[in-house]
Amino acid sequence: MRIAFIGLGVMGYPMAGHLATAGHDVTVYNRTRAKSAQWSREHAGVVADTPAAAARDADAVCTMVGDDADVRAVVFGEGALEGGGVLSSLRADALLIDHTTTSATLARDLAEAHPHFVDAPVSGGQAGAQNGALTIMCGGDETSYARAVAVMNAYAKATTRIGPVGHGQLAKMCNQICIAGIVEGLAEALHFADRAGIDPEAVIAAISQGAAGSWQMTNRAATMIEGRYDFGFAVDWMRKDLGHTLSEARRTGARLPLTALVDQLYAQVQAEGGGRLDTSSLRMLLT
């Protein structure tokens, strides 16, 4: 397939690479052209000067950028973006897949603007993107979803259609609700172990084999014990995601007391200059 990939950050760069490795004809666009040039040297792909140029003649366009405003810029051409957005040149029969974690409202706006749209936020972090092992939650009609799977298989270990457009983003919000609570619980457990005078590494070795075990415990407990938080998914991005989640909760009347509390804790981490630290940095607040 001829695929345009918009956004070559820590996630998009390897995702686009997997598409090229799978044999697709990939054209990339990134606001920082040097990143696009580097990707092209590694994968022999084409570099476009604008999102519109990248999307021209593409069978599918994938976007993986920062937030709602970034998606609106590259798709609709809003803001100071020069050269036009994806929709100014996208074929009516082409597929548009947004992997950015955004509001469900934006997903619905994109569906109104293009008939073959799938909202497809991902979970698995940078390691999942690099290893081609992302979990992807999708919203869209069944036909568009089936077409999108043929693209996403290059970098996904699992894809699930949750429901119509917007439901992928809503499922990602559920994902972030779970992560926020688990990370705070892990931080408090390690803090409790410290104050109780017991070996936190021994505790984790024991409880990780039981009902308390989780991905966060397996992958973050050791670095939390060591006080290392300079990797993984940043607090700034988690607060963006939780902001969408809490906004949707207000709209629907859902009660999310733990999520709201953890969001406030992350705000404290940001206030102390830790916005770019990994989400496991909640442990720093418990001293």
> Does 240 participate in catalysis according to the annotation?
no
CB 122 within 8 A of CB 128: yes
Q: 3-state secondary structure string, the chain? A: CEEEEECCCCCHHHHHHHHHHCCCEEEEECCCHHHHHHHHHHHCCEECCCHHHHHCCCCEEEECCCCHHHHHHHHHCCCCCCCCCHHHCCCCCCEEEECCCCCHHHHHHHHHHCCCEEECCEECHHHHHHCCCEEEEEECCHHHHHHHHHHHCCCEEEEEEEECCCHHHHHHHHHHHHHHHHHHHHHHHHHHHHHHCCCHHHHHHHHCCCCCCCHHHHHHHHHHHHCCCCCCCEHHHHHHHHHHHHHHHHHHCCCCHHHHHHHHHHHHHHHCCCCCCEHHHHHHHCC
Residue 278 to residue 93: CA distance in whole angstroms: 40
The one catalytic residue in 35, 157, 172, 240 is 172
Catalytically active residues, by annotation: 172
